Structure 1
Amino acid sequence: MKHLLKRVMSFASVTALATGLMMSAAQAETLKIALAETPSDEMAAFFVALDRAKANGLDYEWTAFADEELAIQAVLSGQMNIGFGTPYAIMQRSKAPIRIVFQLSKLKFFPVTTKKYATLKDMNGEPIMLHSRGGGTDSIANVIEEREGIKFGERSYVPGSGNRVAALLAGQGEATILDISNKNKILKEAGDRFHVLPMFDVDASDEALFANLDWIKSNEEQVNIFVKALVSVWQDMSKDPTIISRETNPDGPIGQLPKEVLDELDGFYAEAVEGGLYDPNGGGRKAAKADMDWYTRAGQLEGDPATLNIDDFWYFAPLDAALK
């Protein structure tokens, strides 16, 4: 199985950018953050953490890229300092000293089907809609097949969770894999027709913060302020998910989202916390080990997960300091 997640660039692209990577070791006056998407409800907690970090002296600016591949490229080239993603293939196959410092969220995706199916094993030989060939949902399907001992039937590719929801509602498919928001949407609109199949627990990272290790060490104070703020929000959120809506800046990027989105923040974060989407301790070594297993199964890492060195992929010092 050699599928790569959509966020992974070719090895040639990585090699071409490796030279520019060395530029990022210099001191940065302003922390430049590469987001992998435009601000949304799922990023509200992250922006609350940014506000806390700013109150503690962090000067930052962010740029929203169209997808994770572009965010990764921006960090690799030295254009941005820290970014969203899980660029494991890049870390393993290139000479780029890229390291993850914080797990933003776990891989919590939901197999949503008509009530014709009761378990994942019932999907053996059955068609499924996924986001893209070689993308994240494709890799999740691969791991489901391996873990459950099944083989999906025809895979059709419909980019965008919202589009797959629309296809299911229109009767153009019977099964897909969705994120929390779109899973909630379809169950709210058609819970009499669709449900979520029981899924095994996953501690692996969906989104993480990563940066050039040389830059991290040269900007230790900035990184420590940032990671400490993230830990504080993730821990507060685990105790009271409503902290996110209460601390969201009405004049900030999340505060400018439509009222109907803002009205659902408490519900979204309550379910996300209950469902284990966020590790209050930032993932750390537990997440790193889970990542070795998951991304090997998914085809983004090569080798035996038991022999892969997590220190080749993560830099734990900022998180360790924040948790003390």
Structure 2
Amino acid sequence: MHFGKYIAATALAISTMVTAVTAEPLKIALAETPSDELAAFFVALDRAKANGLDYEWTAFADEELAIQAILSGQMDIGFGTPYAAMQRSKAPLRIIFQLSKLKFFPVAVEEYTDLKQLDGHPIMLHSRGGGTDSIANVIEERIGIKFGERSYVPGSSNRVVAMLAGQAEATILDLSNKNKIIAEADDRFNVLPMFDVDASDEALFANLDWIKENSEQVDILVSALLSVWQDMSADPTIISRETNPDGPIGQLPAEILGELDGFYTEAVAGGLYDPNGGGRKAAQADLEWYTAAGQLDGNPAELNIEDFWYLAPLDAAAK
């Protein structure tokens, strides 16, 4: 009986030791299901795993749900640009890496060749208060125009269908759907020249307290991301070559996998990804953009980037 107690105590001690040296898996909140646009991120996850990072991911239906999952502590790191939540929430949310820039494309019927010509004309956007609504606000401010009635059709691909059906004269599309509508009907539509934007479309963020408590995991992930973003900048085909055929991206339809090289080549050439992970330049651009878009209060020149970004992991990876 005493011997049995000894075995039980020893087993408990071993179990405790294992728990102490094995960190909990990093819980990642995606803001969408895996797609071609997430292929580079999953390549980075594979590199991080090879360096000892244990992780699991959950795809939420949208960015707002991913933000709530981080705020509640249900997940550790999330996708999004939660500037309004950062300013209004008591939780110290911080961005640690810019995944992609705001590269959206105004597309209009052939009679329009310049954004200024859309002054007073209706435009079709994704959602009220969403990313494309913000872009429309900043276009109005920068170009000095005022769009007419705004209608809302969620999903870039759905707005392509509406444009092809003649239900709208102008919209804002992401890269892949801009390519799709021009490939299908380039004689009917123009992509209007747009000013350069360094602000973040997608970024990785987490609670600052959690980041500091789990700095080793965070450093492994950020280093892997930076290595992929830099390799991709030099050779976009690295993404298709390193995509795990048994992983979530490898399970996508063959026609999507066949276009990975084309997608990333064009995305890199178009400046969608910053090979330096954004950092201070992106943080300042974000404050200016999201203030103009109405998602941040205050003067961007007086806001402190360290209230929104935690730069230590990126600085360490850059060394």
Q: TM-score range by the shorter chain?
A: over 0.9
Aligned with 2:71 (options 62, 76, 88) = 76
Tell me which amino acid in the other structure corresponds to 1:90.
Answer: A
CA apart distance, 1:134: 1.5
Partner of 1:189: 184
2 CA distance for matches of 1:252 and 1:68?
Answer: 23
The question of 1:128 aligning with 2:126 is answered no
2 CA distance for matches of 1:234 and 1:248?
Answer: 14
Partner of 2:148: 153
Q: Deviations over 1:176-212 (max 9, x none)?
A: 0000010010011001111210000000000000001
Partner of 2:59: 64
1:11-160 pair list within 5 angstroms? 29-160=24-155
1 CA distance for matches of 2:178 and 2:291?
Answer: 27
When normalised by structure 1's length, the TM-score is 0.91
Q: Deviations over 1:161-188 (max 9, x none)?
A: 1111001111111110000010010011
Between Structure 1 and Structure 2, whose CA radius of gyration is higher?
Answer: 2
Partner of 1:242: 237
1 CA distance for matches of 2:275 and 2:179?
Answer: 23
2 CA distance for matches of 1:135 and 1:122?
Answer: 23
Tell me which amino acid in the other structure corresponds to 1:31.
Answer: L
CA apart distance, 1:132: 1.2
Tell me which amino acid in the other structure corresponds to 1:38.
Answer: T
CA apart distance, 1:273: 0.2
CA apart distance, 1:323: 0.4
2 CA distance for matches of 1:95 and 1:164?
Answer: 37
The question of 1:206 aligning with 2:201 is answered yes
Please report the RMSD computed on the Cα atoms of aligned residues, expressed in angstroms. Answer: 0.9
1 CA distance for matches of 2:155 and 2:239?
Answer: 26
Q: Would you identify which runs of 4 or more consecutive aligned residues in structure 1 move more than 6 Å?
A: none
Tell me which amino acid in the other structure corresponds to 1:320.
Answer: D
CA apart distance, 1:158: 1.1
Tell me which amino acid in the other structure corresponds to 1:318.
Answer: P
**Structure 1 residues 258 and 223, CA gap change in structure 2 (3 angstroms):** same
2 CA distance for matches of 1:302 and 1:258?
Answer: 43
The question of 1:316 aligning with 2:311 is answered yes
Tell me which amino acid in the other structure corresponds to 1:152.
Answer: F
The question of 1:253 aligning with 2:248 is answered yes
CA apart distance, 1:28: 5.2
CA apart distance, 1:156: 1.1
2 CA distance for matches of 1:301 and 1:133?
Answer: 16
1 CA distance for matches of 2:186 and 2:242?
Answer: 32
CA apart distance, 1:89: 1.0
Q: Deviations over 1:73-103 (max 9, x none)?
A: 1111001000001111111112111100000
State, as a whole percentage, how many aligned pairs show the same letter: 83
1:295-314 pair list within 5 angstroms? 295-314=290-309
Tell me which amino acid in the other structure corresponds to 1:205.
Answer: S
Tell me which amino acid in the other structure corresponds to 1:56.
Answer: N
- Residue 205 of structure 2 aligns to a residue whose secondary structure is strand
2 CA distance for matches of 1:119 and 1:250?
Answer: 43
Partner of 2:17: none
Question: Structure 1: which 5+ residue stretches go unaligned?
Answer: 1-26
Instruction: Name which of structure 1's ranges 226-235 and 110-119 shifts more when overlaid on structure 2.
Output: 110-119
2 CA distance for matches of 1:41 and 1:250?
Answer: 13
Aligned with 1:164 (options 156, 159, 165) = 159
- Residue 190 of structure 2 aligns to a residue whose secondary structure is strand
CA apart distance, 1:118: 1.0
- Residue 47 of structure 1 aligns to a residue whose secondary structure is helix
Partner of 2:15: none
**Structure 1 residues 214 and 28, CA gap change in structure 2 (3 angstroms):** farther
Question: Structure 2: which 5+ residue stretches go unaligned?
Answer: 1-21
2 CA distance for matches of 1:310 and 1:216?
Answer: 17
1 CA distance for matches of 2:249 and 2:83?
Answer: 29
Aligned length: 298
Q: Deviations over 1:23-80 (max 9, x none)?
A: xxxx951100000000000000000000000000000000000001111111110010
